Amino acid sequence: MSEGVDKQAVKDYLTDLHDRITERLEMLDGGTRFRRDTWEREQGGGGDSRVLSDGALFERGGVNFSHVMGDALPATASARRPELAGRSFEAMGVSLVMHPHNPYVPTSHMNVRFFVAEKAGEAPVWWFGGGFDLTPYYGFDEDCRHWHETARQACVHFGPEVYADYKRWCDEYFFLKHRNEPRGIGGLFFDDVNHWDFPTSFAFMRSVGDHYLPAYEPIVQRRRDHDYGEREREFQLYRRGRYVEFNLVYDRGTLFGLQSGGRTESILMSLPPRVRWEYDYHPEPGSPEAELYERYLVARDWV
């Protein structure tokens, strides 16, 4: 399992992906550019955070690359993998969240990451993780089918059950237990991937990273000019509250970053700039807002 680990190849891919996605999202927005902010971490490593604010299309977007290291894994990692206690680690990845102005354009999230934990005299322990998921405010079957078909294509060369397994894991992971509802329509989620050899595992991670833009861009182009008013905007801000709740309560990446002494500004850049909560809200029966809950915020097969 540990033979042929090439950390530099992974880093080269991630930095290239970071650049490609940033460039394409800037072109999609067409109104402003990402602010680029390189940073160093006192305990080792650093990153490159790119944040877009108040653009023509996106109200807030962040695309972050980080490569951090340390003498011991934080509790979020070692609690699940106690055999890693006492090992040094390196973690690198690209993560992004895009929050549009228009409520008819979904929020999207993607991340791909690589961990390796090492100890003198022992083979390194490594794994890949990541995925992408979509959070619409108003649902369209066409968009859901496209998103999940692209996710399926990302997995098709790695086995007949891979899409179904990681789609199910995504549905289970991006679920707000205290609300008893999913965050969105899902996509893919995988972690601890090292059951293939290193080249295959790395190829799968690359496939997921490379399929994000083909999954998201056509949806953005279809919905970006959709008319909306105050009602849709208020509902979008209300639903964004679920996004904040998930990231601060459940998200492994957020918890890992904070517990490992990461850069807080970069870790929390995924939070939307405007959000609201409303006490005991229930959508009007028969409304498009009710349809989101009844048809789209349920685990279902779209392909």
Residues with active-site annotation: 109
CA dist., res. 163 & res. 168, Å (int): 8
Is 261 within any annotated ligand binding site?
Answer: yes
Is 241 within any annotated ligand binding site?
Answer: no
CA dist., res. 83 & res. 236, Å (int): 43
In this structure, what token pair is assigned to residue 18? 């970071």
CA dist., res. 246 & res. 58, Å (int): 21
Is 101 within any annotated ligand binding site?
Answer: no
Angle among Cα 82, 88, 91 to the nearest 5 degrees reads 90
Is 111 within any annotated ligand binding site?
Answer: yes
Is 263 within any annotated ligand binding site?
Answer: yes
Is 67 within any annotated ligand binding site?
Answer: no
Buried b (16+ CB within 10 A) or exposed e, 191-205: bebbeeebeebbebb
Is 112 within any annotated ligand binding site?
Answer: yes
Is 295 within any annotated ligand binding site?
Answer: no
How many Cβ atoms sit within 10 Å of the Cβ of residue 210?
Answer: 15
In this structure, what token pair is assigned to residue 224? 């970006």
CA dist., res. 234 & res. 249, Å (int): 23
Is 168 within any annotated ligand binding site?
Answer: no
Is 95 within any annotated ligand binding site?
Answer: yes
CA dist., res. 2 & res. 94, Å (int): 23
Which residues fall in the annotated binding site for a divalent metal cation? 99, 109, 148, 178
Binding-site positions for substrate? 95, 111-113, 261-263
Binding residues: 95, 99, 109, 111-113, 148, 178, 261-263
